[in-house]
Amino acid sequence: MDFKIVAEYFDRIENVSSRLEMTDILAELIAKVPKDEIKKIVYLMQGQIAPAFEGQEIGFGEKLISSAIVKATGFSRKDVDERFSKTGDLGTTAEQLIEGKQQGSLFVTELTVEKVFANLQRMSTRGGEGSQELKKKLLAELFNSASPTEARYIARIPLSNIRLGVGDPTIMDAFAIMIAKQNDKEFEEKKEDDRRKIKIELREQIENAYNVYSDLGEIAEILKEHGMKGLANVSITPGTPIRPTAAERLPSAKEIIEKLGKCAVESKYDGFRVMISKDNDKVKIFSRQSEDITDMFPEIIEAIQTQIKPKKCFIEGEALAYNNETNEYYPFQITIQRKRKYDIEKKAKEYPLKLFLFDVVLVDGKNMMNEPFRNRRKKLESIVTKGDIIELSEMKIIDDPGVLEEFFEEKIGQGLEGIMAKDLDAPYIAGARKFSWIKLKRSYKGTLDDTLDLVIIGYYPGKGKRTQFGLGALLVASYNAKKDRFESIAKVGTGLTEDTLVELESMLSKIVSKARPVRVISEVEPDYWVEPKYVIEVRADEITQSPMHSCCKKEGKGLALRFPRMTRQRGDKLAEQATTNKEVEKMFSIQKRVSMDYRQN
């Protein structure tokens, strides 16, 4: 397929602001893409060239892209830099300069999706051929054959930021529309309500498949080749991560027992969530973002072979640094030190990890996702042998709020985060936050005592002492999962250490956007908008109603945070895994409820 057609569709998508319209255009594009090229298009839209767990990353620096533009257009570095400082986007810069160049050139060979993809693959970090010079040449080659619109995307793709405003939910919606139209030629003539119902149903099935097989490119290919019936064969597979389940919140032991009745209550450990796939001697560890983080955990890989009996399985747990001398858990700040590329063996000796397993979803080819938790836990207990590294999460069956409260206090006393209560009858609900898991952290006393994971959507350069860091405060947003949008909720200026300021400034300055990014909703204007990419953890005193912020805005009132402060970066979360509007609304209502109880007592 000609890349030009794709670029023209991308251009149309970029120029509409209604998500419905955007989805329709995308559905039209994917209907046109041949089945052997759909994977590539989906990955490119995700800012990737392969599923995240394969580690074939693109995401090069601006310098490389600028050099390639210089090489391809003949403009000087100064010209490129000047244009870039005006446009704020290397894509537009490339587009304008290629346009200038083309007035003088006659020969343009057609670019194909295959060619664009092949060059990007050769440039990629894993399996790529290396040197900066070669990367520049491969990119310049693409610019040489590109039309101005194509050049815009060719520049943005290797930055891993195509700026279409299309996230995974929108891609899945577009597939649902494409299938609906294929299945029923009269689909467009149906009543709005009927069309919506059909779309929702199809989308749900597509998402269910994606939840157990985190490769949207592969799912897309199956849909193109076999339609919805192809999804019946999509199942949990060793080597491919699933999308993790998540926990709801309730404010007290009493409400948890009211909701679940007799339930399993476990310690809530504060470390790395790990999904482990064992396929004989091939062990892989995935993060909650579906990235392959196997190399970070040499001691766990070793222990899997000795402590986990089945040859094939998929298990889940939390890994954290543990002091064997004192039998104490280290705080998260120590565990996180393992997140590094070098000297892992040294860190492993200094702060060895323990792995607390809490779930199993596949054993020797048997998919256990639909088994009730009580059976999965029993299975888990039967497949782990005693050893130094791997243990089961501590668990008690409890049906009494008083006993739950006691267990909770005991865990807090041991330096843990709190507890996780689990519905004994619930299946493993991949990719969703449901009441099958409920978390309880330190007790709420009428103020907000849980943290939120929020997406940075903008920043302000520092004032006074902070000028030197180029960053003084952040504008952050929660995620509106229904609309696939990020809605402003707070400006965060405290909790940022000098090191964090420096690090964040360097990360954020690379993803600055001249205008408000399409997926961002905010009436508060920061000095610099950034693409919604990075997540930070924020603690606040309270959720309040405010006309300023856009989160959950109704009748002119949104939700905002009072006294927000950053507690840490959440590099393990994708923007789409940030706290959702629905969660903020629930936290707000819990806060109101508890605040009333508290006052009454």
Give the footprint of ligand ATP on this chain (CB under 6 A).
246-247, 266-269, 273, 288, 318, 358, 393, 420, 439, 451, 453
Q: Which residues does the annotation place in the binding site for ATP?
A: 266, 273, 288, 318, 358, 433, 439
Question: With respect to ligand ATP, which residue has the nearer C-beta, 273 or 339?
Answer: 273
Q: What is the DSSP letter of 394?
A: P
Say if CB 271 and CB 335 are below 8 A apart.
yes
Phi-psi region of 352 (alpha: psi -120 to 50; beta: other; left: phi over 0): beta
Say if CB 536 and CB 492 are below 8 A apart.
yes
For 62, 427, 553, the CA distances from 172, given in Å and listed in that order, are 30, 24, 26
Question: With respect to ligand ATP, which residue has the nearer C-beta, 48 or 393?
Answer: 393
Widest distance between CA atoms in the chain: 82
Question: With respect to ligand ATP, which residue has the nearer C-beta, 218 or 318?
Answer: 318
Task: Name the E strands within 287-432.
Answer: 312-323, 328-329, 353-363, 366-367, 390-392, 395-398, 418-422
What is the nearest approach in angstroms of ligand ATP to the Cβ of residue 117? Answer: 34
Q: Tell me if residue 291 falls in helix, strand or coil.
A: coil
Catalytic status, residue 312 = no
What is the nearest approach in angstroms of ligand ATP to the Cβ of residue 42? Answer: 26
| Amino acid at residue number 42 | V
Sheet containing strand 395-398, edge to edge, reads 246-249, 433-440, 418-422, 263-268, 395-398
Question: With respect to ligand ATP, which residue has the nearer C-beta, 98 or 419?
Answer: 419
Residue nearest to ligand ATP (CB): 273
Phi (first) and psi of residue 239, to 5 degrees: 95, -20
Retrieve residue 295's tokens. 């190399």
For 199, 359, 394, 398, the CA distances from 391, given in Å and listed in that order, are 44, 12, 9, 21
What is the nearest approach in angstroms of ligand ATP to the Cβ of residue 483? Answer: 20
With tokens 């003088």, the residue in question is 104
Q: Establish how many alpha carbons lie within 13 A of residue 359's alpha carbon, considering only the half-sphere containing its beta carbon.
A: 29
What is the nearest approach in angstroms of ligand ATP to the Cβ of residue 356? Answer: 7
**How does 67-93 read in b/e, with b if 16+ C-beta sit within 10 Å?**
bbbbbbbebeeebbeebbeeeebbbbb
What is the nearest approach in angstroms of ligand ATP to the Cβ of residue 541? Answer: 18
Say if CB 211 and CB 231 are below 8 A apart.
no
- The per-type count for the chain, helices as H runs and strands as E runs, is 20, 22
Question: With respect to ligand ATP, which residue has the nearer C-beta, 66 or 580?
Answer: 580
Q: How far apart are CA 237 and CA 435, in angstroms?
A: 26
Q: Which element (helix H / strand E) includes 226? A: helix 216-226
Q: How far apart are CA 539 and CA 94, in angstroms?
A: 41
Question: With respect to ligand ATP, which residue has the nearer C-beta, 126 or 262?
Answer: 262
What is the nearest approach in angstroms of ligand ATP to the Cβ of residue 248? Answer: 8
Q: Which residues does the annotation place in the binding site?
A: 266, 273, 288, 318, 358, 433, 439
What is the nearest approach in angstroms of ligand ATP to the Cβ of residue 393? Answer: 4
What is the nearest approach in angstroms of ligand ATP to the Cβ of residue 536? Answer: 12
Catalytic, out of 40, 199, 224, 268: 268
Say if CB 459 and CB 526 are below 8 A apart.
yes
Question: With respect to ligand ATP, which residue has the nearer C-beta, 67 or 393?
Answer: 393
Question: With respect to ligand ATP, which residue has the nearer C-beta, 49 or 246?
Answer: 246
Q: Which residues are the active-site residues? A: 268
